Amino acid sequence: MKIWVKRIVTGLLALLLIYGAGRFVDVYSGSFYTGERAPYLMMPAPRAMTLRWQTAKPGQGRVRFGRTPGKLDQQVTEASAAEEHELRLQGLEPATRYYYQIENQVAGEAAQTLYSGKDYWFVTPPLTGKPAPLRFAVLGDPGYAGVMQTEVRDALMTWLAENPRPDRALPYLDLLLTTGDNAYRSGSNKQFQQGFFSPYRTILRNVPIWPAYGNHDARRWAFFDIFSLPSEAESGGLASHTEHYYSFDYANAHFVMLDTTASSMTVGSEMLDWLQRDLAATTQKWIIAAFHHPPYSRGSHDSDNRRDSGGRMFAMRKNVLPILEAGGADLVLSGHSHMYERSYFSGCHYGDADTLQASMLRDKTTGTKVAYKKPGRDGYSGTVYMVIGSSSKQDQGRLDHPVMAVSLAEAGSVVVDIDNDMMIARFITRAGLVADQFSIQKTAATGQAVPCS
């Protein structure tokens, strides 16, 4: 009998080893991509911008840039040949439009121009802290290639073209944020190409991307190789010394990008300690947070279900929201649940849905076009929570969370405008309709904030 037990255990261990080895090979091989990848912009700063692209075979990359397409009088060149290219352009002027041209020098061949012309440009951010109009878009769980993704993208671009910013025609967007799950189904490098870089390439060549880290992104090792993220405060904020979570500034707005997929969200963890210090250090008027797992949702995921997503939604609500609200967060963006949900102006609700009290809904105005007012940096006067996880996938759910003022089984994206004391956010459906809109107006502080009890 003991011999049979030993044989069974040995067989099971052998199967586990074979599975583990196969899984390692699958994850490893899926983390690489051989082929071309069009340029995309990352880590914008008033005087710097990072350009990335990929070539089919190794070469030494060069970027020529200047203020007009016909006068690219500055250049930066890579130190050695590579297939994945990354160059940081520095010494730029704030709030300035630059055109760029990308070249590649393969050993033994003539230098080749890969990307050039009037369509390849970017605009640097204004000086940090300066009140300047800001328009950014949010794609929620955007990486599932297909008809829905295309319709959402095209509806967003059409709306932007039909609703140009009054201050300037270009850029049509200053920033593009995601709420994670940028490549379905397994976050492989090839899936990033098919589900993210190819469908959004015309946006990414002009608009810097700030991606959140989703659970599908975490199934391979590609995410942190593909994206350049500011662990040392290259774009403002407080250095986190990790690419998993970080902050950045744009004009008078402060953005915090958190990792709800792989980083600990327990009280006293490194990420939460950094978050508290980062929010205490910023003096920006507006604070926006983005991450993957929603603290409130009854869509394709239930934030009250501890078994759903390993309890990460519960941990977000219990441990992270108190820090965000105390730090003055105005808008909190998340995805994961494949629909659209938008909260009332709320605060201090860190339990399950059935613990919500009337006092936690700071403004109970209903409807799909509402205006909220928020005094100064008073962290307890209210925050708006948005779940935008339907930019490429749409599922079903109860859509009855009591903290939500609007819940829609609709695919779409979000556009946010900030101009000094006013923020306006709109949900644009794949049909091009504004299905929800709200605004927050900052007013003078009205006394000391009352902490949550």
Tens of each residue's pLDDT in the chain, 453 residues: 456 555 555 555 554 444 444 433 344 445 657 899 999 999 999 999 999 999 999 999 999 999 999 999 999 999 999 999 999 999 999 999 999 999 999 988 888 999 999 999 999 999 999 999 999 999 999 999 999 999 999 999 999 999 998 877 779 999 999 999 999 989 999 999 999 999 999 999 999 999 999 999 999 999 999 999 999 999 999 999 999 999 999 999 999 999 999 999 999 999 999 999 999 999 999 999 999 999 999 999 999 999 999 999 999 999 999 999 999 999 999 999 999 999 999 999 999 999 999 999 989 888 888 999 998 765 568 999 999 999 999 999 999 999 999 999 999 999 999 999 999 999 999 999 999 999 999 998 765 566 786
User: Which positions ≥6 away from 130 have C-beta within 8 Å?
Assistant: 251, 252
- Asked if residues 397 and 387 have their Cβ atoms less than 8 Å apart, the reply is no
pLDDT of residue 20: 45
Q: How far apart are CA 77 and CA 63, in angstroms?
A: 6
CA 337 – CA 313 distance, rounded (Å): 11
Rg (CA), the chain: 23
Q: What is the pLDDT of residue 28?
A: 43
How confident is the model at residue 10, as a pLDDT? 58
Distance CA 80, CA 75 (A): 15
According to CATH, where is 2.60.40.10 located in the chain?
37-123
Length reported for the chain: 453
- The reported pLDDT for the residue numbered 16 is 47
Residue 137 — φ and ψ, nearest 5°?
-110, 155
DSSP line for 211-249? ----TTGGGSS-HHHH----TT-BTBS---SSSSSEEEE
Tell which residue, 442, 441, 353, has the closest CA to residue 398.
Answer: 353
**CA-to-CA dists, residue 254 to 45, 90, 171, 235, 237, angstroms:** 13, 22, 20, 10, 7
Q: Is the distance from CB of 285 to CB of 129 less than 8 angstroms?
A: no
Cα distance between residue 248 and residue 239, in whole Å:
9
Closest by CA to 317, choosing from 302, 300, 339, 338, is: 302
CATH for 134-443, options being 3.40.50.720, 3.60.21.10, 3.30.413.10, 3.30.470.20 = 3.60.21.10
The alpha carbon of 332 is separated from its chain's Cα centroid by a whole number of angstroms, namely 11
Q: Tell me the CATH number for domain 37-123.
A: 2.60.40.10
pLDDT score for 381: 82
Q: In this structure, are residues 383 and 374 in contact, taking their beta carbons and an 8 Å threshold?
A: no
Q: What is the pLDDT of residue 8?
A: 56
Return residue ranges of the chain for CATH 3.60.21.10.
134-443
Determine how many CB atoms are found less than 10 A away from the CB of residue 96.
14
| CA 167 centroid distance within chain | 25
Residue with tokens 């991307």: 209
The total of other beta-carbon atoms located within 10 Å of residue 14's CB is: 10
Predicted pLDDT of residue 9: 52
